[in-house]
Chain A
Amino acid sequence: MRLAILILLGIAASGAASDPKAPFAPAASAERPAGERLDVPAPPFSEGIFPCSNCHASMPVNRTRRTLTDMHTDIVLKHDEAHRWCLDCHDATNRDFLHLASGERVAFTESYLLCGQCHGEKLRDWRAGVHGRRTGNWNGTKGYLLCVHCHSPHQPRFRALAPLPAPARPARPGD
């Protein structure tokens, strides 16, 4: 069993290393048990932003850390930002994908694999339906919300909410 995983990992790693531009093909890895198909809703993109390649395919890649001025000016990193830059998560050569530290490309529908690299315990709980929230049926197909439905990847801290109104104080005992 362990041997099989090692072999699969080896294939994934060598595939990514030998041809970084290889079209995205799901490979088994520690984060993604082979054959896993999770039922998730569409990623919560702003309207018109995807596919990113509409603009980025014809743009040179600029790897310098900088304040963006021409586009995405609303994106401010507050997520371990001292150690991180956009292209640690977003694939530089094909902007329609994310990538793992190994270089393996990951679709936006599987962004949880990216998060799980650094938040492994959360990913495990999320798979079990304990972190985050299940949708669908308790005894049928169970759906998941992506991490990014609740956490902005750029500023992941959960926002405070206004509470709904407090209950009325009882007029009679037992109300």
Chain B
Amino acid sequence: METDGKTTKPTRRMFASQAAALAAGWVLTACGPKRLYEAPRAQLKKAIEDMERQYRERLGVNVSVSDAPPIPGVEFAYALDLSRCIGCRRCVYACVKENNQSRDPQIQWIKVLSMEKDKGIDFSAADPYYAPAEVPEEGHFYVPVQCQQCRNSPCTKVCPTGATWTEKDGIVVIDYDWCIGCRYCMAACPYGARHFNWAEPEIPKAEINPNTHYLGNRPRPKGVVEKCTFCIQRTRAGRYPACVEICPVGTRKFGNLLDKDSEIRYIIEHKRVLVLKEELNTAPRFFYFYAT
């Protein structure tokens, strides 16, 4: 099974919610669908065919949904060069497009924070709404934030239905069919990286990206949580995430942590590396570094 093996000490609240979830789960497994990660391969294939048919009927678009599994020997990691980022937000919009995020209401998985050089990394003095004529602005640096794909992920621990978990390649994913929209995970995430579909997501038909993954960018319904998946639909096919490919200054780096020739390993071995909110012990797979 592709969940993270870590268990947490049960609390009374967890017991209650899990008991409820178990009961619901028992009813549903008896007569309804299984969570996708524990569904047998054949059942998953069938579920995916259903999804594709429903997208065709509902959206009028031939969306193809991949079920590519994690690649053995691969653990993904990301690194972002804080000495290079100029805050141009090209990544934000490339991500929205690639990952079928709702245009209205607006959902953006990447948030770029403008910070003052004098203050250093200080979230209380960060501004996501900066809008000068040109970037970078004098005296500022930029910290893009998205899902940090934590090894010790608070979000997956609080989910009462098991609808979010960590895959073997390190990607924290969400099963949109099992998400009940309780938003516990959003409260648990210290990075504000999870987003909720308050309304039916709206994407112009011509802008829908039809190349999707069942745990990633397939179009979502109203009432579920979503977030960055390291572009699971691209990266499991060997490609770079869309944000890496678009970045005009080459700030964003991606690769296999287990491959000693990857750019990620070079960065960890040669550069000053940090993680956001280290004191929370979330152990992100998303690193920040200074190349110079």
Interface residues of A (CB under 8 A from B): 125, 128-140, 145, 150, 158, 160-169, 171-172, 174-175
Contact = CB atoms under 8 A, between A and B. Distances in A.
Contacts, number: 103
B134 A162 contact: yes
Contacts of A165: 89, 131
A132 B88 contact: no
A174 to B, nearest CB: 6
A169 B249 CA distance: 27
B93 A164 contact: yes
A150 B249 contact: yes
Interface SS of A by simple majority: loop
Given A160-B136, A161-B134, A135 B239 contact: no
B263 A130 contact: yes
Contacts of B196: 174-175
B108 A167 contact: yes
Contacts of A164: 88-90, 92-93
Contacts of B106: 167-168, 175
A135 B106 CA distance: 29
Contacts of B245: 135
A164 B74 CA distance: 34
A175 B136 CA distance: 27
Given A138-B240, A150-B249, A166-B129, 20 more contacts: A128-B266, A129-B253, A130-B263, A132-B250, A135-B240, A135-B245, A136-B240, A138-B239, A139-B71, A139-B256, A140-B238, A160-B86, A160-B136, A161-B248, A162-B135, A163-B135, A166-B131, A167-B111, A174-B195, A175-B105
B88 A128 contact: no
A169 B238 contact: no
Contacts of B90: 164
Contacts of A150: 248-250
Contacts of A168: 106
Contact of B263 (A129, A145, A161, A162): A129
B141 to A, nearest CB: 14
Interface string B77-113: 0000100001111101100000000000110100100
Contacts of B239: 137-138
Which of A168, A174, A175 has the most C-beta atoms of chain B within 10 angstroms of its own C-beta?
Answer: A174
Interface residues of B, number: 50
A161 B240 contact: no
A155 B237 CA distance: 38
Which of B74, B108, B195, B238 has the most C-beta atoms of chain A within 10 angstroms of its own C-beta?
Answer: B238
B198 interface: yes
A137 B255 CA distance: 9
Contacts of B74: 139
Contact of B266 (A129, A138, A171): A129
Contact of A158 (B132, B249, B254, B271): B249
B134 A125 contact: no
Which of A125, A129, A130 has the most C-beta atoms of chain B within 10 angstroms of its own C-beta?
Answer: A130
A125 B253 CA distance: 12
Contacts of B256: 138-139
Given A167-B106, A169-B129, A133 B186 contact: no
A141 to B, nearest CB: 10
Given A138-B256, A166-B131, A174 B186 contact: yes
B129 A167 contact: yes
B291 A160 contact: no
B250 A131 contact: yes
Given A161-B248, A165-B131, A175-B196, A138 B87 contact: no
A44 to B, nearest CB: 14
20 contacts: A128-B266, A133-B244, A133-B250, A134-B240, A136-B240, A137-B240, A138-B239, A138-B240, A140-B238, A150-B250, A158-B86, A160-B136, A161-B86, A161-B134, A161-B135, A163-B87, A163-B132, A164-B92, A174-B183, A174-B195
A128 B263 contact: yes
Contacts of B255: 138
B281 interface: no
B262 interface: yes
